[in-house]
Amino acid sequence: MVAHHPGKDHALSILCHTIFNIRTIFKHVLPAQPCVLCGSMSHDGLWCAACDKTLPYLAAPHCPVCALPTTTGEVCGQCLKQPPLFTGTAAVFSYAFPLDKLIQAMKYGEQLALAQAFAKKLAQRIDKNALPDYVLPMPLHPAKLRERGFNQSLLLAATVARELDLKILPDGCRRVRDTPPQSALPWKERDKNVRNAFRCDVDLTGKHVALVDDVLTTGASLNALAKAVHQRGAEKISAWVVARTLPHHRT
């Protein structure tokens, strides 16, 4: 029998406490920056700790497939009736104020540092026991990419892949139709809008692939992309998103 040494536990406790204190001191030594939400000086990143508490984290029980709220975390009726090709969704927030303004600032205001902050939050939500073989961003059509200058989903995917030490396929899929923005269309027209809009150019036979996007609303775009990777042999497909639009917030 190995003897228990209370002194070792005490030393470990002191070490952990010291490391915590060093981290706290180091954080406060770093230059503060204005919080993107309230403007107060923040040592906690792009938004301050107080504003972080106001963000709509997706904490309530939800469907493991599409992340819509359910009573006890069971699969929702829609996913039972018509399951998407992706089999699970990881989402950090619900798409509600003030998170929606931050995502809009990232996409349309070119506040690209927000992508890294969001991706780090997303990486914390991923099940480390079921990591995929590849991470694949939602692609933009070349015309839209030229217009915007960047693909926010690629920025998110690159940071998540780096945080989790995963392989990313930045050009694994292409958007072959320049479709109108999904947000500009009624829900019922969104499936048709993105039908056959994607092509996958890599062999994914037997692989687990995670698709990364900023917001999941109806799931039409992610499901269309999932179809493209499924056709190239992907065995399991996960959806990783920053935010999930809930029914009462849909537009």
Assigned CATH for 57-249: 3.40.50.2020
Using 50, 70 and 90 to split pLDDT, how confident is the model at 190? confident
Q: What is the CA radius of gyration of the chain?
A: 20
Dist CA 184 CA 149 (whole Å):
21
Structure confidence by residue, pLDDT tens digits, 54-102: 999 999 999 999 999 999 999 999 999 999 999 999 999 999 999 999 9
Buried b / exposed e across 55-87, counting CB within 10 Å, b at 16+? bbebeeebbbbbbbebeeeeebeebeeeebbbe
DSSP letters for 30-59: SPPEE-TTT-SEESSSSS-HHHHTTS-B--
N- to C-terminal Cα separation, the chain: 65
Give residue 3's pLDDT. 52
Give residue 15's pLDDT. 43
Nearest to 137 by CA among 153, 116, 161: 153
Give residue 193's pLDDT. 67
Backbone angles phi, psi at 75, to 5 degrees: -65, 135
Using 50, 70 and 90 to split pLDDT, how confident is the model at 181? low
At residue 125, does pLDDT exceed 80?
A: yes
CB-count exposure of residue 242 (10 Å: 0-12, 13-18, 19+): buried
Structure confidence by residue, pLDDT tens digits, 221-248: 999 999 999 999 999 999 999 999 998 6
> Two tokens at 161?
């892949």
Q: Which residue is it, tokens 């995917």?
A: 157
**Cα dihedral angle (188, 189, 194, 196), rounded to 10 degrees?**
90
Percent of the chain with pLDDT over 70: 81
Dist CA 131 CA 213 (whole Å):
17
Structure confidence by residue, pLDDT tens digits, 194-226: 788 899 999 999 999 999 999 999 999 999 999
Of residues 6 and 178, which shows the higher confidence score?
178
What average pLDDT does the structure give for the chain? 87
Kindly give the pairing relationship between strand 198-200 and strand 173-175: antiparallel
Q: Domain-by-domain residue ranges, the chain?
A: 57-249
Kindly give the pairing relationship between strand 198-200 and strand 208-216: unpaired
In this structure, the chain runs to a length of 251
Give residue 180's pLDDT. 63
Nearest to 36 by CA among 19, 55, 64: 55
Give residue 32's pLDDT. 85
∠ Cα 153 194 198 (to 5°): 65
Give residue 80's pLDDT. 97
Do the Cβ atoms of 141 and 116 come closer than 8 Å?
no
Of residues 106 and 24, which shows the higher confidence score?
106
Structure confidence by residue, pLDDT tens digits, 26-62: 344 456 889 999 999 988 889 999 999 999 999 999 9
Give residue 165's pLDDT. 98
Q: Which residue is it, tokens 């042999």?
A: 233
Q: What integer is the mean pLDDT of 140-144?
A: 93
Of residues 108 and 191, which shows the higher confidence score?
108
